[in-house]
Amino acid sequence: MDRMVRDERGVALVTALIALVIVSLLGAAALTLAGGTINQTIWDRSSGQAFHIAEAGFNQAVARIKSGAVTVGTFNTKFSAGEASVTVTKLNDYAYQVKSVGAQPSFAQPQARRAVQGIITYIDSASVAFADGSQGQVVGNATIDGPFFMRDELNPSGNAFFYGGPFFIKDDASTLNPTGDLVLGGSSQMGTAAEPIILFVDGNQPYAKTGPKLYASAVYTDVPDLQMPIVDADAMPAKRAEADTLVIDNNDVLDGARPVLSFTGSESNITTGSYPGGPYLIWTGGTTDTLEIKGKVFLDGPLTVGGITYAGRGTITANGVINVTGNFQPKPVSAVGVAPTTFPDTDVFGLVTPKNMSIDTNGKVVGMLYAYGTLYMKKVDFWGSAQTRTLNLQTNPYLHIPAGLNQSNLPPGIPQMAPMTAISGWQEVQP
């Protein structure tokens, strides 16, 4: 009997020891699993914070580009949760590639790191040729060199060439059939093999990125929107009221003594008259005549100018059609030359109308243009920027938007648009 009791006690002791070992193993496994879960949780949180830090660094680069204080190269920026290393590479005058690597120290790992990358295209509104309405026409051997924004379909005919860029083709939501398509008719071409363009297009783009119709370094479908300021007939009373000193209407006489608008050369080339609804101004002076303007001038009627040079910084807003019939460029002409590479900073002239504007010079025009109607360009070498609802290019016009134009180039009185920022190809990449 005593032996049986002792055997049972031995079995119970062994069983208890085995149970204790099993419980200990289970406890250790649970602790290991719990520790791993905690470490994973810490890592996941740190990795998420690193991603947000990378985003914050990217957004800081966007802000710097918008402010003009962009730093090409790598800069580090610290946040409360960690640090971002941001590398900015300039692709052209308007586009930058930005890569931001976010780092967040972790207790579970040496360091959590995530990275994002994208292309930032930033264009000051002063440096865009802008056609806001549909039915824009590019016919004949037209050339556009520089940033160009077109709403609705871009369908040039003839031998139209598009250089520089970037080019934006936005669908027109106001129409029954918004497309935003690119159609390169005739022998038209965008970009060259040596200098490909950046293209943003909402609709169809049926061309290969590398010739013969299109040479593009990148094609994006997320097209930013750009809204044209409205300066129509209803805005004319306000334009008249804000004019600096001189308002040209039935009660004013043009002469050289005016403090805002003055002339040199033969004033016999200046004529005024009347038409149903108001007066008009025509100046077709010789090459020695200079129009000097400072500030904002309002003309209650149509305007025709041609064959003159100008000085000063100012804008004529004409409550009527504007016709430019000859050379219209800053003085001295030698400052611009045959092929200017920079836009004049001192003498800048603007023309504004709520109606149509026609540029038909067989010469050179330099300035800033705004037409709420249609802007017709024919046989002109134009340097500057233009805003219009419909752009109609005919008979070999050359439209050149010099690089680097910004708000400081705008003369007083030119309607201003907000700058345009496009973020394309944004994605997470390897740190």
Rg for the chain (alpha carbons), in Å? 33
Which of 124-128, 311-315, 343-347, 377-381 shows the lowest mean pLDDT across its residues? 343-347
Whether the Cβ atoms of residue 102 and residue 82 lie closer than 8 Å to each other: yes
Q: Are residues 132 and 110 in the same domain?
A: no
Pairing of strands 189-190, 308-311: unpaired
Q: Are residues 252 and 382 in the same domain?
A: yes
| 272 assigned to some structural domain | yes
Q: What are phi and psi of 43, to 5 degrees?
A: -65, -45
Q: Are residues 92 and 163 in the same domain?
A: no
What is the distance between the alpha carbons of residues 293 and 312, in angstroms, rounded to a whole number?
5
Q: Are residues 180 and 314 in the same domain?
A: no
pLDDT for residue 161? 92
pLDDT per residue over 335-392, tens digit each?
444 444 456 777 888 999 999 999 998 888 999 999 999 999 998 999 999 999 888 8
Question: Model-level pTM greater than 0.85?
Answer: no
Q: List Cα–Cα distances, 369 to 38, 47, 56, 294, 389, in angstroms.
A: 64, 51, 38, 17, 12
| 8 assigned to some structural domain | yes
Which one of 67, 89, 123 terminates a domain?
123
- Residue 50 pLDDT more than 80? yes
Q: Are residues 209 and 132 in the same domain?
A: yes
| 430 assigned to some structural domain | no
| 422 assigned to some structural domain | no
Question: Which burial class, exposed, middle or buried, applies to 281 when counting CB atoms under 10 A from its CB (0-12, 13-18, 19+)?
Answer: buried
Which one of 192, 210, 227 terminates a domain?
227
The residue segments making up the domain with residue 182 are 127-227
- Residue 83 pLDDT more than 60? yes
Q: Are residues 90 and 182 in the same domain?
A: no
Which of 14-28, 76-90, 183-197, 347-361 shows the lowest mean pLDDT across its residues? 14-28
pLDDT for residue 404? 75
Which one of 96, 123, 150 terminates a domain?
123
| 89 assigned to some structural domain | yes
Q: What's the mean pLDDT in 153-162?
A: 85
What is the distance between the alpha carbons of residues 230 and 170, in angstroms, rounded to a whole number?
19
| 275 assigned to some structural domain | yes
Q: Are residues 202 and 257 in the same domain?
A: no
| 431 assigned to some structural domain | no
pLDDT per residue over 5-46, tens digit each?
455 556 666 666 666 666 666 665 555 554 555 555 555 678
Count of structural domains within the chain: 3
Whether the Cβ atoms of residue 411 and residue 398 lie closer than 8 Å to each other: no
Q: Are residues 67 and 145 in the same domain?
A: no
Regarding predicted confidence, which is higher, 331 or 249?
331
Q: Tokens 């611009």 correspond to what residue?
A: 336
Q: Are residues 143 and 272 in the same domain?
A: no
Segments of 239-333 assigned E as strands? 247-248, 261-264, 270-275, 278-283, 290-293, 295-299, 303-305, 308-311, 313-318, 322-324, 328-330
Q: Are residues 278 and 402 in the same domain?
A: yes
Q: Are residues 177 and 247 in the same domain?
A: no
Q: Are residues 190 and 222 in the same domain?
A: yes
SS3 category, 129:
strand
| 60 assigned to some structural domain | yes
